[in-house]
Structure 1
């Protein structure tokens, strides 16, 4: 069993953005020390509870302070960016940390429509960036390759674009998704594929089966390569693990019911919160599909999840919050989640 980590760089009510980044550095170093496979950071925008807005910047920061774990994006939301900019950023990261960089790419905007418009400029006024996603994906692959991408100019002249003057190695490319669209596309392109089970938990089995059935071998992957993500909180008692997870689930409930967003609550505040029936249903659903409990119970849940979906790697999204009095520059409950799982599984 290979374990990896997904980090949205959560910001608690007792933290500044700088505190949250310091806590994520400590979490990445913990994962590195424990032998986790990879550590990915997400891209979300205009969300007070999430400090992960720029994956390449975060990856550079984390890779410089770890030694062997692979660092990557989970993922770069490609419609927000020019393919050449993404290719250059990750080619440069690969040059600086050869053999340790993953480029996970997604199609979702990672924010609300207004923020997406601001990110994309005029192109944000229509769906062209989303419609062109498969071509953008091909462009990134070509631009990072040693041959580069050829641009046809007037009078049949050709111009070669490369992300770096002399690429020696390239980041490992992954396609991310939470729908059948991404499963079909990853299979057709012959790319490794990751399903965001932590986000919705709907359609996981169907998407992974479609990906494996339709997979076309490629230079990137001669056979299907896939894993999935899952929310997790692990503690010495089930009650404590569940309490630590509640703030994250309530934050998700507020997002999905259109409530004002705010930093992640501390455990005591979350346990005192009054929820609507709709919000409570979202919290209960999140608990049901998460890995939560004591070390042995949580390890069993991870094994069962891996067996159910036929994967030999699971990416843990440690969502435990903190209690009052916790060092703002640390996330001890998230570190403990990794440590207790590693004792059972790594």
Structure 2
């Protein structure tokens, strides 16, 4: 029996102090969010893609102006409808295309005597598609981010005040939201276009006037929940004012939901601007936006499909990146997703 017992050894924690040691490092809220977010590969790729897109839009501002994107030579047709050419023998990107009435692909650059490569080709007026897509991306992002910032300011303030006051004030404010939500966005855009004309600022104002209701409802629901929590009651007991409690305690606790809502609002605003420009209620020609570029490329779809495919792909990728990042942030801010 003694020989059998000697074959076994004690395993596990032998020191009492070691059992009280914290194995996992202590993480702040934002560190915990990043720790969970980076496990979502699509969200991380979308994050870096959007950072690249925003930096590209900012850096290209002094390099590619609106005027340079609109310039074209009316005395020469050799620059019109040139296909994309990268200088490399890549199919579809080598300057060759089937022209109307031809059954074989020809090098349009050599045929027209063009010694300059247009990496994304040119449109029917000889303007560089790369420059126009760059300017269009910049305008679409500006419209979406500016409208979302206004939505954030109005929606968060309205929702905080409605949820904090409660009672009949909250009831009246929610009925106002229901009335605004019942008005079609297209009606608001049309009225603003008639009053101020079709411009970037009228689109921003139209989006801001109609899209803040979703943010206000989210913030109001969270305010109704948080204002009964112990930390808010403790702040009231200490004599803190309502605005201070809202900015110091309520907004930080609902920041995750607000960020996720922003990530969903931006792509919706980008798509809305593109649709408005496509139906001639948004940015007017020759100003380039993704919507106007898609509209201009519709007439050339049969013979020059790249003119509509390139801005459409840019619009799809940017919108999809915001949506994927929003989904990743929603999971990252969810405490239930924390590691056990």
What's the TM-score, normalizing by structure 1?
A: 0.21
Considering fraction of residues, name the structure with more helix. Answer: 2
What's the TM-score, normalizing by structure 2?
A: 0.22
* Higher-Rg member (1/2): 2
Considering fraction of residues, name the structure with more strand. Answer: 1
